Amino acid sequence: MRLNYHLLFFLAISLSGYGQIINEISDPVDYVNPLMGTDSEPGLSNGNTYPAIGVPWGMNLWTPQTGKMGHGWAYTYDAYKIRGFKQTHQPSPWMNDYGQFAIMPVIGMKFDQDERASWFSHKAEIAKPYYYKVYLADHDVTVELTPTERAAQFKITFPASDSAYLVVDPFDKGSWVKVIPEENKITGYTTKYARGKLVNFKNYFVLKFDKAFDNVHTWEGKNLAEGVTEMEGNHAGAIVGFKTSKQETINVRVASSFISLEQAELNLERELAQDDFDTTKKKARDLWNDKLGRIKVSGGTIDQVSTFYSCLYRTLFFPNKLYEINEKNERIHWSPYNGKILPGYMFAGTGFWDTFRALYPFLNLVYPSINKEMQAGLVNDFKEGGWLPEWSSPGYANIMVGNNSASVVSDAYIKGLRGYDIEILYEALIHGANNAGPMTAVGRAGAEYYKTLGYVPYDVGINESAARTLEYAYDDFTIYQLAKALKKPKKEINYYAERSLNYKKLFDPSSGLMRGKNKDGSFQSPFNPFKWGDAFTEGNSWHYSWSVFHDVQGLIDLMGGKENFVMKLDSVFDLPPIFDESYYGGVIHEIREMQIADMGQYAHGNQPIQHMIYLYNYAGVPWKAQYWVRETMNRMYLPMPDGYCGDEDNGQTSAWYVFSAMGFYPVCPGVNEYVVGAPLFQKVTLQLENGNELVINAPGNNAQNRYVNELKINGKVSTKNYLDHNELMKGGTLEFDMKDEPNRNRGTDKEDFPYSFSIEK
């Protein structure tokens, strides 16, 4: 049965208020709200998402465009006007877009982005992952679109008019259009890219109409070229006219390629074939139901179910495919490094600083086949560019810190992914771990200092040095893990094992926190643990002091034992949300999101602290993790336009929710374990790609019962605060007995605690 989200929502509210329990999910895509997170602006992110209309990991996404050309906030919920329907590859408004172009139906000859813009209402808008529909009031035109991986179909319903038009806008910074009236076709390319220069970069597009053009024009900038069929310039575009009868629909089939016009045509033929609009729509819908349906939840409120699937949807886009399939059925790609067309996989659109934490581990558990392609893509990144990307949008971007590609590569291999050249990736990790890259965000800035001193000094002109050091030490740990798995020489294994302890060098006993350290060994001074940035990245010492994913026991020892450690964790929530923003010269949105969340210093809206709640498990007080996990799920996520508590960030913040709702979280990628939290639903069924089924039962779950009284794994009681990845992959049943009071005897012994390097089992 197909469930209508709005109907269900109405029923839920009118029949039993907030609490209606959903027990049977047949079509999970119906619970997704693509508008979750779109009520955002640069100063306050409630997700900073746009309604991504596409298919999982598709090369192209589509979004209604409310923002101006080139503006990162492409669609914002509070906007009144739509100015186009944009093919986009944008991973984040901060990274902005590349290879984007827009189309827009209008009545009257209006091609300028402001003149053609139309009022619209969310009351006349349907946003689904596989389908978008909106009424453009100023033109009395209804637009519907439905996507494939590299193509899309538009169904545009016009009023009776002798001046109906369709604008094709390939944006500025170098574009070209050519209208071919005898074939009802428009071709062109855009070269637009927000960040500097890309070599030999063009996104070629082709649009095919099912109605002949009545008249054809092109334009450049503000100037119309009447009757001219081809235009090249900084900002070239086309506008083609039609005579339409009332309710006449015009179908537009569109595809693109980063390789050539011929490849764009091939992508169109292959992906749209003879399909009509409804067939493409059904295929996209079925695809979503298949992918989302790998996890079925039941026994939660409609808001919880909707939040879950809206989050799951966000985990299935990035990094998106940058490769295409040629006429010989071979995978080929445009290289962001040398502009050549080369064989094999390539992906783009993710920042590892965000996504190493939960998104990649999530793929390794539920969707490993796509991550095998991504790993093969990383092999090509290294071969073509000489380094692994840390923030690919596409290629190398000089943003954020760390060398977390090591975690992404190691976790995939350790979790059992095979079928790509791991030896080359290992070589890439060793190279990246010991050398400064072509920019500070690739390889390791301060590598020489790190190798000799064991940390990146605060006073040598390398920004955010403590964050770098802590992440490098963890990254070294993941290399150590991979080196062991690949049976590398003992000396090499030991070298990275030793370096993984470098986090200790930044621990300041006087504050009990991590602190920047100068070249001469003295700590940075003055030191304000509430100061954002400076020695840290988009966070303060209270956030970053927990970035010892691989050796929490070592951190507990530094902090003076379990009791002190737990007190310190508690303090994060107890402290007021005070801050020092002077490093940034203003309050960045991540600070504001912490300040307003009423969770003290706990800044769930940004990545550095997102694993912290789970650390209670390493100190024998798992019920505190259970309390705060539920609290965070309840308060920081809603399936609404303002439903995230900060940047969603390419599936990372969503993967946190999906994992947490299942009852566990990958605190330390690179280790074959998940740390137990507390499941949200009464039942979760996980269909693994290997054919096995994992069932997570928690029949006692409700608003009051958030504590784990007992856990049984395949019928046997487990007192452990962790789950083994290999065991989960075999399928089976986790049985959680949930209660409204903590069980203070469960998970309290040392042998129950999750992995720590210092006490390696």
Instruction: Using CB under 5 A, list all residues that contact Ca ion.
Output: 606, 647, 649
Residue nearest to Ca ion (CB): 647
Cβ nearer to Ca ion, comparing 545 with 652: 652
Cβ nearer to Ca ion, comparing 9 with 94: 94
Cβ nearer to Ca ion, comparing 147 with 646: 646
Cβ nearer to Ca ion, comparing 175 with 403: 403
AA letter at 607: Q
Tokens standing for residue 601: 């210093």
Q: Whole-number minimum distance, CB 62 to Ca ion, in Å? A: 24
Other beta carbons less than 10 A from residue 622's beta carbon: 30
Q: Whole-number minimum distance, CB 400 to Ca ion, in Å? A: 9
Q: Whole-number minimum distance, CB 651 to Ca ion, in Å? A: 12
The phi and psi torsions of 263 (rounded to 5 degrees) equal -70, -35
Give the end-to-end CA distance of the chain in Å, rounded to a whole number.
49
Cα-trace Rg, the chain: 26
Q: Whole-number minimum distance, CB 354 to Ca ion, in Å? A: 6
Closest to 703 (Cα-Cα) out of 665, 660, 740: 740
Cβ nearer to Ca ion, comparing 87 with 601: 601
The DSSP-derived string for 514-557 is E--B-TTSPBPSS--TTB-STTSSSS-HHHHTT--TT-HHHHHH
44 CB-side CA count, 13 A: 10
Q: Whole-number minimum distance, CB 538 to Ca ion, in Å? A: 6
d(CA 72, CA 589): 15
Tokens standing for residue 317: 């886009």
d(CA 738, CA 368): 31
Cβ nearer to Ca ion, comparing 392 with 606: 606
Cβ nearer to Ca ion, comparing 647 with 737: 647
Q: Whole-number minimum distance, CB 646 to Ca ion, in Å? A: 6
430 CB-near residues (< 8 Å, 6+ apart): 479
Q: Whole-number minimum distance, CB 171 to Ca ion, in Å? A: 27
Cβ nearer to Ca ion, comparing 95 with 728: 95
Cβ nearer to Ca ion, comparing 42 with 343: 42
- Please report which helix (H) or strand (E) contains residue 737, including its range: strand 732-739
Q: Whole-number minimum distance, CB 647 to Ca ion, in Å? A: 4
Cβ nearer to Ca ion, comparing 464 with 649: 649
CB 352 within 8 A of CB 402: yes
Distances from the Cα of 168 to the Cαs of 249, 254, 276, 285, 724, in angstroms?
18, 11, 22, 27, 53
109 CB-near residues (< 8 Å, 6+ apart): 163, 165, 217, 224, 239, 241
d(CA 141, CA 157): 6
Q: Whole-number minimum distance, CB 77 to Ca ion, in Å? A: 20
Q: Whole-number minimum distance, CB 671 to Ca ion, in Å? A: 23
Closest to 117 (Cα-Cα) out of 71, 167, 163, 183: 167
Residue length of the chain: 761
d(CA 363, CA 340): 29
Cβ nearer to Ca ion, comparing 153 with 606: 606
Tokens standing for residue 448: 């020489």
Cβ nearer to Ca ion, comparing 38 with 190: 38
Evaluate the CA torsion angle 179, 180, 186, 188 in order and state its sign: negative
Q: Whole-number minimum distance, CB 311 to Ca ion, in Å? A: 15
CA 379 to chain centre: 21
Output the CA torsion 565→569→575→577 (10° steps). 140
The DSSP-derived string for 656-696 is HHHHHHHTEE-SSTTSSEEEE---SSSEEEEE-TTS-EEEE
Cβ nearer to Ca ion, comparing 284 with 441: 441
Please state the three-class secondary structure of 84-153 as a single string.
EEEEECCCCCCCCCECCEEEEEEECCCCCCCCCCEECCHHHEEEECCEEEEEECCCCEEEEEEECCCEEE
The DSSP-derived string for 227-240 is T--EEEETTEEEEE
Tokens standing for residue 26: 């047949």
Q: Whole-number minimum distance, CB 430 to Ca ion, in Å? A: 28
Cβ nearer to Ca ion, comparing 397 with 729: 397
Closest to 149 (Cα-Cα) out of 50, 260, 283: 283
Q: Whole-number minimum distance, CB 467 to Ca ion, in Å? A: 13
Instruction: Find where tokens 């997704």 sit.
Output: 32
Cβ nearer to Ca ion, comparing 355 with 481: 355
Q: Whole-number minimum distance, CB 649 to Ca ion, in Å? A: 5
Q: Whole-number minimum distance, CB 608 to Ca ion, in Å? A: 9
Instruction: Find where tokens 């024998």 sit.
Output: 620
Burial label, 341 (beta-carbon count in 10 A; 0-12, 13-18, 19+): middle
Cβ nearer to Ca ion, comparing 588 with 662: 588
Cβ nearer to Ca ion, comparing 236 with 591: 591
Closest to 401 (Cα-Cα) out of 450, 435, 448, 351: 351
Q: Whole-number minimum distance, CB 532 to Ca ion, in Å? A: 13
Q: Whole-number minimum distance, CB 207 to Ca ion, in Å? A: 36
